[in-house]
Structure 1
Amino acid sequence: MAKISLVAALLLCLLAVATANTFTVTVTEDDMENQGSQRCQEQIQRQRLNHCRMYLSRSCQYELSIVTDDDESNQAQEHLQQCCQELRNMDTQCRCQALRRMVSQEQGTQGHEAERMLGRARYLPRMCNIQPTQCRF
């Protein structure tokens, strides 16, 4: 009987020590969203999407002009490829936010041209074959 009491006392001591060393971490959705948002902000600052900006602004210019030469077309394709790489370097959940911000920051873009750029920016991920395939903005 003494052995059982001793074992029971030892188990209670171990349980008390284990309980004292246990802590709970509660992560709310707001915390996760804030961390994700902060990470997106950092990625947007780091990855300025310069090639995406060039591709979108030039493709809008191409639409306005009837004739384009091969050099300009090749440059546009190069900017598109580099843009796709810029987007791939970002987390999936940050891409659309970055594109929207990039278009809104484009200086000198107003009215119909801004709408056209925003419309093209929506489908850039699809053109790059990355997720999400379409941005909703």
Structure 2
Amino acid sequence: MGNISLVAALLLCLLAFANANTFSVTVSVTENDNPQSCQEQIQSQRLNHCRMYISRSHQYFNDELSMVTDDDHEINQTQEHLQQCCQELRNMDTQCRCPALKKMVMQDCGRQGEEAQRMLGKARYIPRMCNIQPAQCSF
């Protein structure tokens, strides 16, 4: 009878020990924990305002990123496109912004060569103008 009590006590101790060392992990997935891939973000954010901003600013950007035009209406429209472009970029993850800008420029009207380089040069500084990261794209 004493052996049975001893075995029962040992079993209870083992069960208590095993139960004390058992843990569970609860993982809750929220929308922020599972961000869209860059490819999905690029497809959903078509960057239409960024495209309009770059095409409208084509004539009056120089190395210092200043405008050389007297047309106030054109300047206002261009600035509106820039503000909307900034919002489009803010809707994307930081690491997706530059690839999205590059893809937008390269797909836009099939630009190649020197024209593509000029447009990429303008797109490179858009994050800085929007005061978002990265401050400058390297493409």
Same fold (TM over 0.5): yes
What percent of counterpart residues are identical? 63
TM-score by length of 2: 0.72
Per the alignment, residue 43 of structure 2 pairs with 45
Per the alignment, residue 127 of structure 1 pairs with 129
Q: CA deviation at 1:52?
A: 0.4
1 CA distance for matches of 2:9 and 2:131? 64
Task: Return the letter of the residue paired with 1:132.
Answer: P
Q: CA deviation at 1:70?
A: 1.3
Per the alignment, residue 57 of structure 2 pairs with 59
Q: CA deviation at 1:11?
A: 3.9
Q: CA deviation at 1:9?
A: 2.0
Q: CA deviation at 1:136?
A: 1.6
Per the alignment, residue 31 of structure 2 pairs with none
2 CA distance for matches of 1:47 and 1:114? 21
Superposition pairs for residues 86-101 of structure 1, below 5 Å? 86-101=88-103
Q: CA deviation at 1:8?
A: 3.6
Q: CA deviation at 1:4?
A: 6.5
CA contact (8 A) 1:49 1:87 kept: yes
Aligned-partner SS, 1:106: helix
Gaps of 5+ in 1: 24-34
Q: 1:114 aligns with which of 113, 116, 123?
A: 116
Per the alignment, residue 27 of structure 1 pairs with none
CA contact (8 A) 1:103 1:118 kept: yes
Q: CA deviation at 1:85?
A: 0.5
1 CA distance for matches of 2:115 and 2:55? 9
Q: CA deviation at 1:67?
A: 4.7
Q: 2:83 aligns with which of 81, 84, 95?
A: 81
CA contact (8 A) 2:128 2:134 kept: yes
Gaps of 5+ in 2: 26-33, 63-67
Task: Return the letter of the residue paired with 1:125.
Answer: P
Number of equivalences: 123
Please provide the CA RMSD for this pair.
3.1
Task: Return the letter of the residue paired with 1:12.
Answer: L
